[in-house]
Structure 1
Amino acid sequence: MSVTELKERHRVAAETVNSLRERLKQRRIQLLDTNVADYARAQGRTPVAFGQTDLVCCRTLQGHNGKVYSLDWTPEKNRIVSASQDGRLIVWNALTSQKIHAIKLPCAFVMTCAFAPNGQSVAYGGLDSVCSIFNLNSPTDKDGNLPVARTLSSHRGYVSSCQYVPDEDNHLITGSGDHTCVLWDISTGLRTSVFGGEFQSGHTADVLSVSISGLNSRLFVSGSCDSTARLWDTRVASRAVRTFHGHEGDVNTVKFFPDGNRFGTGSDDGTCRLFDIRTGHELQVYHQQHGRNEIPHVTSIAFSISGRLLFAGYTNGDCYVWDTLLAQVVLNLGTLQNSHESRISCLGLSADGSALCTGSWDANLKIWAFGGIRKVI
């Protein structure tokens, strides 16, 4: 068979796949009777009202000398760990801005970090393809550095994300550039389960983010460069429970909704989306109009305690506060006083929902809090 014939067969096959994909997309649309915003309007819901002083930057955490890539809060809400490409993890007291620990990393190219549920250890991963654990109570070495307590090694690509299983200090899930997610037993340093890889239902490109359900720790979702998000059950590692389509770019971030039945995503296509894990349907798209060549990528998202607000960070320095029900932007933190000067790379909400922390390529972290008297939304 000639090269010309092979190219023609490839072209025909590609057209067939695209046609089937479009038909599947239209079929999904037909199955949806409404979306969240239309239903909320039909119920007479009104938008959340925010003024310029309802969310204020109350603290700026300065200490990193490189781009901040990841952050995480402790469950008791008063400490934050941040990872920067200056090669350090810093544990902060969020109330006083004091640095509690400054941990020198074996590999400077860090991409993710996480606090253990008990707040006594932190994990980090990056381009060295391992996830390392530090015990914050361990004595420092002769150079004043905290030693690595455990190294989790088996990924064949960079470690892009990690999260401890809620209420379990000895189990952690990582996502990697090798297209897989792994559930680890930290006490032994061994893999408990591998999700994806050789299994056909796994991701076909780099995994960029994972999020574990707070109500059912056996379920987690992953986002990938293959433009999909997938739902996994840790008891059935051989296949994904469900695959979620809709994005037209890398899915950079995923986050479970507070009720555990939905999750949000953020993508290079400039949109955030809300999916239902029970039906597989896309419930809402959060998209701000921009010029054709000026679409900022979504880097990180978080939901308020009730789920009424969706916080989304973008590569252009904006941080939108979306009304989740009506899909409207109610505030842009990037326009407020003391906002970041560069890309928002990560963000996270405190355990009680009273404060939001954002990290940026400007090497700073900022803590935003609700001003005045306002009920938790």
Structure 2
Amino acid sequence: MKVKSLSRSSDVYLPARNTEVSRLPRNLDPELHPFERAREYSRALNATKLSRVFAQPFVGQLGHGHIDGVYCLAKNIKRINAIASGSGDGIIKYWDLTTREEAVSLKAHHGIVKGLAVTLDGNMLSCGMDNTVKLWDVNKASEPEGGLVKTFLGGSGFTGIDHHRTNSIFATSSNKVEVWDITRSKPTADLSWGADNVNSVKFNLSEQSILASTGSDRSIVIHDLRSNSPVQKLVTLMRTNTICWNPIEAFNFAAANEDHNVYMYDMRKLTRALNVYKDHVGAVMDVDFSPTGQELVTGSYDKTIRIFRVREGHSRDIYHTKRMQRVMCVRFSMDTRYIFSGSDEGNIRIWRTEASSRTGVKSARQRAKLEYDAALIERYKNMPEIRRISRHRHVPKPIKTATEIKKTEVASIKRKEDNMRKRSKKGSMPFQKEREKHVIGVAINPPQKE
């Protein structure tokens, strides 16, 4: 006869502190808990309600902001407590996020600053409509020269700039796409393809020989630095303001469009979008991926910021304030906890990525409770009551009115198309796919320059 002695560790039932109550052993056998799902649903409902009660996304603003509108932001990929901003009066500032005060303020350009980038050694590159690109050493800003290291002259006003992740090269957009070496005063390559004016340019974050640009001819062009030539060109119904590459999925990028939507593309097949992110009622001015590649944030002309999950088509949250005007630029922090936005009235605001989250040291039991609540909400997120509470947001009256008008217009267009399809020959009016109807055409391998 075998005899098994029951034994358990004292860590399971003894309290960690004298102030805690002794923990009771619990048998997790499902047969002993017939109402477990009902209890879990009640806990998920309470957790959803509490997340909305404690939702306070706005953290604060940086210093006193700018005198003019903020039109570009740049983050340092090697530091989580620094960010750069550029405004319409030619001022660029380097901010210390721990104190929320400016560390460096420089009069960089005559006119609007259109682009900013942080180099590998922590310096700043700025470009403006005064036909110049300037390299700044932020550690020497107090010297008589103001920290100016070098000036690059261009043939026309610059509209965007981006720096390579590993090499000392950068790309600019103006009336053409040019690649520069920091050690030289002239561009090393011209990658333009057809557009009269190029709005923005971005390097791929993984395969860094690839960069993409957006043009005034409603095009998105993929360029290859290995051959110093453009590779593909996508033309859409309306203009794309800017793009952002996914830092994890190297082939995918998001494009902020004038038709109130953001489109996700795979560069290997540009004839259709991977996803369409809706809900804005104004032109989307900027888009940025989180460092994990799981979410993206958008800033729009309708004075709101929206956060999307990559696999979903509608926003999971919307941020707005009474004084915030048109949002021109947005960025995720490098630890994904915060969002920075620059708007037309000159303020740079800090938002929490999770509206109900709080900073500070948490005990192990508190962290376990938060993770348990998050798992319950995710499990029961499709239940009607939980879905209604988690999706409900108070929005400004102009946004609500514009949303209702847009829904009415879209429904009217669909109803008209259905009526025409019913009265037309069968097959003469095929249904247009939502992810393809904004694409006009894709061109590959442009003609070589003479």
TM-score scaled by structure 2? 0.64
- Where 1:274 maps in the other structure, the secondary structure is strand
- Where 1:182 maps in the other structure, the secondary structure is strand
Tell me how far apart the structure 2 counterparts of residues 309 and 257 of structure 1 sit (CA, whole Å). Answer: 10
RMSD value over aligned CA atoms?
Answer: 2.2
In 2, are the aligned partners of 1:210 and 1:255 still within 8 Å (CA)? Answer: no
**1:324 paired to 2:310:** yes
- Distance change in 2, residues 1:274/1:104 (3 Å): same
- Where 2:195 maps in the other structure, the secondary structure is coil
In 2, are the aligned partners of 1:152 and 1:184 still within 8 Å (CA)? Answer: no
- Where 2:293 maps in the other structure, the secondary structure is coil
Deviation of 1:74 after TM superposition, in Å, equals 1.0
Work out the number of aligned pairs and report it. Answer: 306
- Distance change in 2, residues 1:339/1:219 (3 Å): farther
In 1, are the aligned partners of 2:108 and 2:134 still within 8 Å (CA)? Answer: no
Alignment of 1:65-144 (within 5 A): 65-75=67-77, 76-119=79-122, 121-138=123-140, 140-142=142-144
- Distance change in 2, residues 1:286/1:234 (3 Å): same
- Other-structure match for 1:242: 232
- Where 1:328 maps in the other structure, the secondary structure is coil
- Where 1:270 maps in the other structure, the secondary structure is coil
Q: Which has the larger radius of gyration?
A: 2
- Other-structure match for 2:333: 350
Tell me how far apart the structure 2 counterparts of residues 340 and 220 of structure 1 sit (CA, whole Å). Answer: 36
Partner of residue 267 from structure 1, selected from 253, 257, 263: 257
- Other-structure match for 1:175: 173
Deviation of 1:108 after TM superposition, in Å, equals 2.9
- Where 2:191 maps in the other structure, the secondary structure is strand
In 2, are the aligned partners of 1:57 and 1:339 still within 8 Å (CA)? Answer: no
Tell me how far apart the structure 2 counterparts of residues 60 and 339 of structure 1 sit (CA, whole Å). Answer: 14
Sequence identity of aligned pairs in percent? 20
Query: Once the two structures are superposed, what CA deviation does each residue of 1:214-255 show, in whole Å capped at 9, x if it has no partner?
Result: 1111111111111121111112223x2111233x22211100
In 2, are the aligned partners of 1:340 and 1:360 still within 8 Å (CA)? Answer: no
- Where 2:315 maps in the other structure, the secondary structure is strand
- Other-structure match for 2:241: 252
Deviation of 1:51 after TM superposition, in Å, equals 4.3
Deviation of 1:288 after TM superposition, in Å, equals 2.4
**1:360 paired to 2:361:** no
In 1, are the aligned partners of 2:221 and 2:231 still within 8 Å (CA)? Answer: yes
Tell me how far apart the structure 2 counterparts of residues 140 and 107 of structure 1 sit (CA, whole Å). Answer: 20
Query: Once the two structures are superposed, what CA deviation does each residue of 1:166-213 show, in whole Å capped at 9, x if it has no partner?
Result: 023x2111111x1x11111111223121111xxxxx142311111111
- Where 1:204 maps in the other structure, the secondary structure is coil
**Which segment is superposed worse, 68-77 or 106-115?**
106-115
Alignment of 1:41-80 (within 5 A): 51=52, 53=54, 56-61=57-62, 62-75=64-77, 76-80=79-83
Counterpart residue identity of residue 98, structure 2: L
Alignment of 1:254-333 (within 5 A): 254-258=243-247, 259-280=249-270, 281-288=272-279, 295-333=281-319
In 2, are the aligned partners of 1:228 and 1:245 still within 8 Å (CA)? Answer: yes
In 1, are the aligned partners of 2:252 and 2:265 still within 8 Å (CA)? Answer: yes
- Distance change in 2, residues 1:83/1:139 (3 Å): closer
- Give structure 2 stretches of 5+ with no counterpart: 1-47, 359-366, 375-450
Query: Once the two structures are superposed, what CA deviation does each residue of 1:145-171 show, in whole Å capped at 9, x if it has no partner?
Result: 6143111223x3321111110023x21
Tell me how far apart the structure 1 counterparts of residues 322 and 82 of structure 2 sit (CA, whole Å). Answer: 21
Tell me how far apart the structure 1 counterparts of residues 166 and 53 of structure 2 sit (CA, whole Å). Answer: 37
Q: Indicate the structure with greater strand content.
A: 1
- Other-structure match for 2:203: 212
- Other-structure match for 2:405: none
In 1, are the aligned partners of 2:89 and 2:110 still within 8 Å (CA)? Answer: no
- Give structure 1 stretches of 5+ with no counterpart: 1-48, 197-201, 290-294
- Where 1:137 maps in the other structure, the secondary structure is helix
Tell me how far apart the structure 2 counterparts of residues 171 and 205 of structure 1 sit (CA, whole Å). Answer: 24
In 1, are the aligned partners of 2:278 and 2:315 still within 8 Å (CA)? Answer: no
- Distance change in 2, residues 1:210/1:52 (3 Å): farther
Tell me how far apart the structure 1 counterparts of residues 292 and 52 of structure 2 sit (CA, whole Å). Answer: 20
